[in-house]
Amino acid sequence: MKSLNFFSSLRRETRQFAVIGLGRFGRAVCGTLHKLGYEVLGTDIDEALVAQVLAEKLASSAIELDSTKPNALKEAGIFEFDTVIIAIGNYLEESIITTLNVKEGGVKYVVSKASSNVHGKLLQRVGADLVVFPEYQGGCDLAHSLTQNPGVMERFEVDPDHSIVETRIPEEFHGKTLEELNVRSRYNISVLAIGKDDKFNINPPPQEKLNKDLSMVVIGSNKAIQKLPL
């Protein structure tokens, strides 16, 4: 998970997260959310992993518990969190039971890690609101990083064929307006925002002049984005 620039500036609500399972993936989720300023509770049945998270200050707090036991989850206050991430990927039974327990406990939004398509379907059946496949996504991210336009700074996939990306404004765009460049027809993309760091002008007008020292956020097909002169 990368630092977000433009995307992190869209964050408005303060939410609480609980992460169940403190393996490599779970620790990465905890650490990233904690750095972004959210309150994060990490849990695992392994005391050593809990101690590691506390020692490395990857979460607001961390406790040892057996997530297959509903009473343990209730006593720890897990059911009171806005979002719970089930980061147990390699133990299917524990992953599925935990997901079911958390949903039945009333948590509004549950994200569960899956290790296979069958695992993912089972998680959806028991109520997971979002199923993620970190290994698959990691492979996709690597492929993008090896082949994407060097000007691309951040990418969010809308679907397998389309993305929203933050890119450096090409030097040949410098001093020209969006209307002059006719980016929608010429490059088959739409410019959503122009700016830098956390200060962006959303939905810029056609008369907006571009500056090579700024960034732009565009949406379009991956093929169209790849052809931008960056």
The number of residues making up the chain comes to 230
Pairing status of strand 152-159 against strand 162-168: antiparallel
Q: Please list the residue range(s) of the chain that carry CATH number 3.30.70.1450.
A: 148-226
> Can you give the pLDDT at residue 7?
41
> Can you give the pLDDT at residue 54?
96
> Can you give the pLDDT at residue 135?
73
pLDDT bucket at 230, cuts 50 / 70 / 90: low
Do 229 and 183 form a contact (C-beta atoms < 8 A)? Answer: no
pLDDT bucket at 13, cuts 50 / 70 / 90: low
Q: What contacts 64, CB < 8 A, 6 or more positions away?
A: 43, 44, 45, 46, 47, 50
The answer to whether residue 14 scores a pLDDT higher than 50 is no
Q: What angle do CA 137, 217, 211 make, to 5 degrees?
A: 140
Which superfamily does 148-226 belong to?
Regulator of K+ conductance, C-terminal domain (3.30.70.1450)
What CA dihedral angle connects 89, 94, 100 and 103, to 10 degrees? -60
Do 98 and 86 form a contact (C-beta atoms < 8 A)? Answer: yes
Q: How far is CA 80 from CA 11, 83, 88, 100, 144, in A?
A: 21, 9, 20, 15, 38
The answer to whether residue 2 scores a pLDDT higher than 50 is no
pLDDT in tens, 18-40: 999 999 999 999 999 998 889 99
Element (H, E) at 25: helix 24-35
> Can you give the pLDDT at residue 124?
94
Domain 15-137 fold is Rossmann fold (3.40.50)
Query: First vs last Cα of the chain: how many Å apart?
Result: 24
The H-assigned helical ranges of 65-177 are: 70-75, 92-104, 117-125, 134-147
| Mean pLDDT estimate for the chain | 85
The answer to whether residue 190 scores a pLDDT higher than 50 is yes
pLDDT in tens, 101-148: 999 999 999 999 998 889 999 999 999 999 988 876 666 666 666 655
For 88, which DSSP code? -
Q: Please list the residue range(s) of the chain that carry CATH number 3.40.50.720.
A: 15-137
